Amino acid sequence: MQTTRFSDIAYQRPDLAQLEASFRSLTEAFRQARTADGAIEAMRAVTALRNHTDTMATLVSIRHSLDTRDAFYDTENNFMDEAMPHIEGYLNDFFRALDETPFKEAISGVYGNHLFELIAVKLKTFRPEIVEDLQTENKLGSEYTKLLSGARIPFEGEERNLSQMGPFTQSKDRDMRRRAQKAVTAFFVENESEFDRIYDEAHDRFLGFGPDGNATLTVDESLHGDVERILGKTMRLNVGGYEERVLCYASSRPGDDTVALFTLSKCPGNC
């Protein structure tokens, strides 16, 4: 069996205009399908297009994270931060068509009923009006990643990044652990204003959710039943040893049924 090395996978920036045209064409083909087989064939074409796009986005994410100083992949990462919310919008149009299809029973026989549960959540968690919010979220996430990966901590005669400081902060030697932790802490103190800015901007964007910028998000207890049913009848998920609390938020702006679902690690009981 022939395998492909990760370094040999070619990257090509997706053409947004072409992607939009392709997604719209395939979505229309799905809507116009007169048989279940025709609808499933259109679904497979959408899946292939989505897989290719996701592969390109993943390549950028990994290669950018390996070296955030790489100018090419830094540019491509910025492009993806802007582009992916638009692509999510193209997919959302298809998901709506999928939710309305008369061939649900046949499609469920191929892909399972859980597909339509996921689609229902997708339709509740995206609106075209929040594309800018998602772009800002992506941008802030990238800035946070670059800030962490840019750490150059002088320790034991060398400049080290945060990962390289790990063995020292976990050393069996108590004095080594203390000095290493002080050096790591000094990095965060030195960059405190940047970390605060990123978190503050993310928080402000969260509070200004919605196209008019004055909506607020409030905990919606009524959503817990749906989330529990889809995620496994629990509001606390154990992921990699960390307890994750699933929160359900809905916009308080009249007429807006947009829902946001996310998790907070080790969330305090009153968060």
pLDDT of residue 157: 93
All residue ranges of the chain with pLDDT < 50 are 210-220, 232-245, 251-252, 263-271
Its sign, for the CA torsion 70, 76, 77, 79, is positive
What are the residues facing 249 on neighbouring strands?
Answer: 219, 260
Q: What is the pLDDT of residues 208-218, one digit of tens each?
A: 554 444 444 44
Which stretches of the chain are DSSP H helices? 16-32, 36-66, 71-100, 104-111, 114-124, 131-149, 162-169, 174-190, 192-207, 224-231
Q: How far from 205 is each of 91, 104, 177, CA to CA, in Å?
A: 24, 37, 38
Global model pTM greater than 0.85: no
pLDDT of residue 244: 46
Its sign, for the CA torsion 17, 93, 116, 245, is positive
Q: What is the pLDDT of residues 78-111, one digit of tens each?
A: 999 999 999 999 999 999 999 999 999 999 999 9
